Every structure is written in structure tokens, then in C-alpha cells.
Amino acid sequence: MDSSDLIALLGLIVAVVAIIVATCAAVYYGRVEKGQRRLRAWKAVQAGVFVGAVLLVVVGGGWLLTRGNSSGQTASGTGPAPAPSSPDAGPSRTPSPATPSTSQTGAASAPGGCRGAINLNHAPVSANPCISVVDGHLQLVSHVTALQPGKVTVFVWLTDGNTYRPDVPPHRCNFDLAAGQTETCSTRVQPDRPGTDWVAATEAEKGSADYPSGWNSFPHVAGTQSGHRVTWPLQN
């Protein structure tokens, strides 16, 4: 409580006491006094009550006004002061994000890859041929999915595309597939010709077969190929 609050409180106490005293005096003189003395006493009591009421209004109103101004000043002064601007400061700039290094983005992807599923002509299957490097060998893979149930023979072999393939029989797998079933036929080889880019090729036949259709017509019939050529020997 500051000094203004204390003064206002004392004023209020004085005003209330004055009103109480005047009221008590009015009651007393109303009972014991008569005639002109009673009238003068009553007027004096009225004057005391009036003065006390005026004092109460003035002191109370002044105190309320003082408190209101003080609260407004406190509220308006709340909050952090704005930082002074420097006349030498240039326009603000958002720092650019650091460019990721090669180690952050990851090493280059391994050689090889897959073509994606494609429907074959000589068997009711789709095939996705892939080539990759595994333990120093080229891994040739054909993922086949049956479009209808039945037995099929899946072939996969190595080729440079449309000019050369090793003079060895194709690797083959026999499957009895339900509709929608997927199986994988794979083999690992080491090419017989260095300095060549290699891909995997695949084909399938209904039932059992030793060779895919058109095997002896290479390079005119070259099978469905994986793409994603891998150079042999492997580059470290």
C-alpha cells in the first residue's frame, strides 16, 4: 500500500466516523432536546452528515481515479521494450541452408537394375528381368507372375543386347503356378568377354521346354531384356 492509498483510507475512515457521529447525535438530540435547541441541534447534525458525505465522495472518488490511472500506466508499460535499431545495420537476411555433401546424400547406387514387369508372348506370365552384382558375379533374375494357372518354363541368360551372348544354354526354371502367384528364376555368372556392357534377358514357355522360342534366331530374337547395363570387369 503506497502513501496515496493510506491517505485515501484515512479520509474514508474520517468521513464514515463523521456520518456515524452525526447520526448518533441526531438520535440523541431528537429524544432529549425540545424547541429551538432541538431545531439547532438537528441542523448541526444535518450539516455534519452533509460534510461527511461530501468528504466520503471526494476522498473515495479521488482514490478510485488515482488507482485507475496507476493501473493504466502499469498495463501500458508491460512488455519488453523494442530493441534499438542500429543505423549501420543492413537489411536482414535469412541464412541459406547448407548444401548437403556427397556423404550426406549417400553413395552412388549399385550398378544394375530391373526393367519392370511386362507380359510375355509365349506363356501366360508377366516377367521383370533384373541384373545386379553379387559377390563379384553378375546375378541374372527373372521375377515372373502368373496371369492364369498352369505349368511354365522360365529362361534367363546373359547378353550384351543385340550383338553377342555367351555360347552356353540359358538357365531355366520350371514352375507350376496358381493365378497371381509370383516366383523367381535366377543364376550367377561371370562373363567370358571383358570390356563389355551386359544385361539380363528372359523368356518363358508353356509347359516344359529346353530352349525359349527363337533361341536360334539371335540376334533377331533377343528376349525381354533388363536394361541397366553393367560393365565387366567391374569398376572399383
Do 29 and 132 reside in the same domain of the chain? no
Domain check: are 196 and 150 in the same one?
Answer: yes
pLDDT (tens digit, 9 = 90+) per residue, 19-40? 777 677 666 666 655 556 666 6
Task: Say yes or no: 151 and 197 in one domain.
Answer: yes
Residue 125: pLDDT over 70: yes
CATH number at residue 212: 2.70.50.60
Give the DSSP letter string of 73-141.
Answer: HHHHT-SPPPPPPPTT-----PPPPPPPPHHHH-PPPPSEEE---EE-SSSSEEEEEEEEEETTEEEEE
| Same-domain pairing of 142 and 50 | no
**Is 90 domain-assigned?**
no
Q: Which residue would you say has higher pLDDT here, 123 or 47?
A: 123
For the segment 65-116, what is each residue's pLDDT rounded down to a tens digit?
A: 666 655 554 444 444 554 444 444 443 333 333 333 333 333 346 789 999 9
Do residues 69 and 126 share a domain? no
227, 115: one domain: yes
Choosing from 47, 73, 99, the residue where a domain stops is 73
pLDDT of residue 182: 98
Residue 88 falls inside a structural domain? no
Of the residues 73, 97, 120, which one is the last residue of a structural domain? 73
Least confident window among 19-28, 59-68, 120-129: 59-68
* pLDDT in the model for residue 102: 34
> For residue 50, what pLDDT is reported?
73
Q: Which of 25, 51, 73 is the last residue of a domain?
A: 73
**Same domain membership, residue 46 and residue 147:** no
Phi, psi for residue 8 in degrees, rounded to 5: -65, -40
The Cβ-side half-sphere exposure at 93, using a 13 Å CA radius, reads 5
Q: Is position 137 within any domain?
A: yes
Residues 121, 202: one domain?
yes
- Domain assignment present for residue 86? The answer is no
**pLDDT, position 234:** 81
- Backbone phi and psi for residue 145, each to the nearest 5 degrees, phi listed first: -125, 130
Are both 122 and 228 inside the same structural domain?
Answer: yes
Establish if 104 belongs to a structural domain: no
Residue 206 vs residue 110, higher pLDDT: 206
State the residue range of the domain holding 218: 110-232
Predicted TM-score of the model (pTM): 0.55
Q: Assess whether 41 and 123 both reside in one domain.
A: no
Q: What confidence category does residue 215 fall into, taking pLDDT thresholds of 50, 70 and 90? A: very high
Domain membership flag for residue 83? no
Per-residue pLDDT, 135? 92
The number of distinct structural domains making up the chain is 2
Asked if residue 45 is part of any domain, the answer here is: yes
37 and 119 together in one domain: no
Identify the pLDDT of residue 101.
36
Q: Tell whether 202 and 118 lie within a shared domain.
A: yes
Q: Do the domain assignments include residue 101?
A: no
